[in-house]
Structure 1
Amino acid sequence: MRMLAALLPLALISSPMAASPQRMSGAFSERQVYFNDGAPPTLKIDMEIKVDKDTLTYRGVNTMDPANPIITEFSGKFDGKVRPYVGRHFDHLAIHKLHHDEFLVEKYQDGQVVIGEFWRYAADTDEWIRHGVVAKMPGGKTRTYVEYYRRQK
């Protein structure tokens, strides 16, 4: 009985009303971030995300340095296949759909996963939550992070 009582809140969290791809799509702004090594004080990422039947499309603008924003764009099918990517920090990308509202994004460099991210759309708060691990930062350290993105009004 105690086990059932402990699992009930998890069931409620993990089974919100199913969000449609259209509801998951849109413009979102970072409202909170946690890095295990301390968040840069001026980190701000705005993202546009589109979820289709079998594709995730992302455009993120990091304005940590407003004079030189860093733009990251990619699009990929949910089939988990590793595909070439032209951009900063990684050269290949794979996207897996884990659940109707959850995705795994793997970013590769020279054949190795360098960044792994679990993305989840929370319909009840209308936000994206991204948990990630950077396998090896400059200097050889690992970084973990959690980011919350609220829909832009």
Structure 2
Amino acid sequence: MKMKDTTMLIEALATGRGLPAIEPDLWDNAPLSGVYRSFHPQSYWSNGMFPAGFRLTLTMRFEENFLAYEGVNDTNPEKLYVNKFDATLDDKPAPIAGNARYNEVRIRQLSAREFQVLEQLDGDVIIGQYWCFSEDASTLMRWGVGKAPDGSSKAFFETFGRLAD
């Protein structure tokens, strides 16, 4: 993303206007592909209820303008929570099957290592998040706001470390 585009994004967010239409650049995302695991000490939820022993493993395979994603939360091994989808990185809705909270995802690549991710239920944003990979792709940080099944909302910040290939 060019500096001019970044400035437009910041101004749009600061004023509450919608994001401007920016022709997406195509980046080599292959170095971001891998398996990442949550790192509890550097993660939190604004409601103070971040689960002890939280364990979420993300497996991501990037290609040009594409992400295959599988998140497995096995904090409670007897009740696995799996979120799996394939999506383009151009802000177009893609289906998520088998999830009661949301049924589509939209991903917009903002720069070589930054993404906007919206998980939606019939077009209504349930979770809005920003992902940022470290320069060496050893760490993924994601933060945003999500609505829980009970209707309450919370902000979150979650850190993931890349597992050895």
Q: TM-score range by the shorter chain?
A: 0.7 to 0.9
Residues 51 and 44 of structure 1, relative CA distance in 2, 3 Å threshold: same
How many residue pairs align between the two structures?
134
Q: State the partner residue of 2:70.
A: 59
Q: State the partner residue of 1:101.
A: 113
Runs of 4+ in 1 over 3 A off after TM superposition: none
Q: State the partner residue of 2:22.
A: none
Q: Deviations over 1:66-125 (max 9, x none)?
A: 122111111111111123321321011111011111111111113211111111111247
Q: Deviations over 1:23-54 (max 9, x none)?
A: 21111111132100120113210111122111
Q: State the partner residue of 1:7.
A: none
1:49 aligns with 2:60: yes
* Residues 20-31 of structure 1: pairs in structure 2 closer than 5 A: 20-31=28-39
* Residues 31-46 of structure 1: pairs in structure 2 closer than 5 A: 31-32=39-40, 33-38=43-48, 39-46=50-57
Q: State the partner residue of 2:134.
A: 122
List runs of 5+ in structure 2 lacking aligned partners: 1-26
Residues 137 and 68 of structure 1, relative CA distance in 2, 3 Å threshold: closer
What's the RMSD between the two structures over aligned residues?
1.8
TM-score using structure 1 length = 0.80
List runs of 5+ in structure 1 lacking aligned partners: 1-18
Q: Which has the higher strand share?
A: 1
1: distance between equivalents of 2:115 and 2:32?
A: 12
Q: What residue identity is the alignment partner of 1:118?
A: Y
Q: State the partner residue of 1:152.
A: 163
2: distance between equivalents of 1:84 and 1:139?
A: 23
Q: What residue identity is the alignment partner of 1:49?
A: M
1:91 aligns with 2:107: no
Q: What residue identity is the alignment partner of 1:45?
A: L
